[in-house]
């Protein structure tokens, strides 16, 4: 991970942290005391909340993306939070134990059953639903924390605060590590110029390959458009799809040339993702 990516990742964490601590600083002391346990069961509930609450907030965010996809009749492909995972295999959804650390902080992916309709609008709804769920549920849990008193005060407060922090962390920065935040991806997707065309081409190529389980129906001119993006990670996917296209058509000469090009991006791509792409 290069210096720029580290700075962008830290920026997202810092912004979320500032949102949380600003809230804690301005709330009345008597309200802040609601976080602290008063008995044995409340102590147990508090420590459970510290462990489970952050991942519950992440799950709500990813559930927003998933719900928006399913409501548009997309199929679930992947849903992961911490160790819990769901993925589609052989047209069936199965539960699995997640061991991939880059998915630990949450990921949700759906795909359309065909490429009809306005893919830009469909995917824009999916991107926007994650931050929207974080904002809405953050408000709900903070409301419960403020107006009600129970052994689970800590849980309500933690989930509420982290959900609001997630909203800011996925809307203010442009990147989180290697990947674009929801807001930046949405902004790129709805761009009316070349960037928007690249994002649409990337979506079409990704979904087409997923639906066909091969790259034979990809459009070379669109893949080459993706390769002209200013972001290296986007360029990589353009070259990968073209490599897969020639590989599936058994054009060894062109596939080898593209593979050599892909190798220049190897240090940029997480090892587990690189391995899953079977670039041989």
Beta strand 179-180 with 175-176 is antiparallel
pLDDT per position as a tens digit, 155-191 = 999 999 899 989 999 999 898 877 899 999 999 999 9
Average pLDDT over residues 84-105: 90
**CA–CA separation, 178 and 270 (whole Å):** 9
For 63-82, the pLDDT digits (tens) are 999 999 999 999 999 999 99
* Confidence label for 13 from pLDDT (cuts 50, 70 and 90): low
CA distances from 169 to 14, 49, 56, 62, 257 (A): 8, 21, 16, 14, 39
Task: Please name the residue that has the structure tokens 């799950």.
Answer: 59
Rounded Cα distance between 88 and 77, Å, is: 5
CA distance 73 to 223: 26
Predicted pLDDT of residue 105 = 86
Residue 252 has pLDDT above 60, yes or no: yes
Rounded Cα distance, 104 and 93, in Å: 19
pLDDT in tens, 199-234: 999 999 999 999 999 999 999 999 999 999 999 999
Q: Which residue has the higher pLDDT, 24 or 148?
A: 148
Write down the domain spans for the chain.
3-181, 191-276
Q: Tell me the pLDDT band of 3, cut-offs 50, 70 and 90.
A: low
The model's pLDDT over 38-61, given as tens digits with 9 standing for 90+, comes to 778 888 988 999 899 999 999 999
Q: Is 99 exposed, middle or buried (0-12, 13-18, 19+ CB in 10 A)?
A: exposed
Tell me how far apart the alpha carbons of residues 156 and 137 are, in angstroms, rounded to a whole number.
10
Q: What is the pLDDT of residues 103-159, one digit of tens each?
A: 888 999 999 998 888 999 999 999 999 999 999 999 999 999 989 888 888 899 999
By C-alpha distance, which of 77, 122, 123, 128 is closest to 103? Answer: 77
Q: What is the pLDDT of residue 1?
A: 47
* pLDDT value at residue 9: 55
């Amino acid at each position: 991970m290069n210096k720029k990516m580290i700075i962008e990742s830290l920026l997202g964490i810092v912004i979320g942290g500032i949102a949380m601590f600003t809230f804690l600083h301005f709330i009345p002391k008597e309200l802040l005391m609601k976080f602290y346990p008063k008995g044995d069961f409340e102590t147990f509930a508090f420590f459970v909340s510290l462990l489970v609450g952050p991942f519950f907030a992440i799950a709500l965010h990813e559930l927003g993306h998933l719900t928006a996809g399913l409501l548009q009749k997309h199929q679930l492909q992947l849903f992961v939070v911490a160790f819990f995972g769901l993925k589609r295999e052989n047209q069936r959804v199965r539960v699995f134990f997640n061991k991939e650390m880059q998915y630990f902080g949450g990921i949700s992916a759906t795909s359309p059953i065909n490429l009809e309709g306005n893919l830009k609008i469909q995917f824009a709804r999916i991107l926007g639903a994650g931050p929207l769920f974080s904002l809405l549920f953050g408000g709900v849990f903070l409301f419960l924390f403020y107006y009600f008193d129970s052994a689970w005060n800590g849980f309500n407060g933690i989930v509420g605060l982290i959900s609001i922090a997630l909203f800011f962390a996925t809307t203010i920065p442009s990147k989180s590590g290697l990947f674009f935040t929801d807001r930046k991806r949405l902004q790129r997707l709805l761009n009316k110029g070349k960037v928007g065309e690249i994002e649409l081409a990337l979506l079409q190529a990704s979904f087409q390959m997923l639906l066909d389980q091969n790259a034979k129906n990809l459009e070379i001119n669109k893949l080459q458009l993706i390769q002209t993006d200013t972001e290296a990670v986007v360029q990589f996917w353009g070259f990968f799809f073209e490599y897969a296209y020639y590989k599936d058509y058994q054009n060894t000469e062109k596939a080898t040339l593209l593979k050599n090009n892909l190798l220049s991006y190897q240090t940029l791509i997480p090892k587990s993702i690189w391995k899953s792409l079977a670039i041989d």
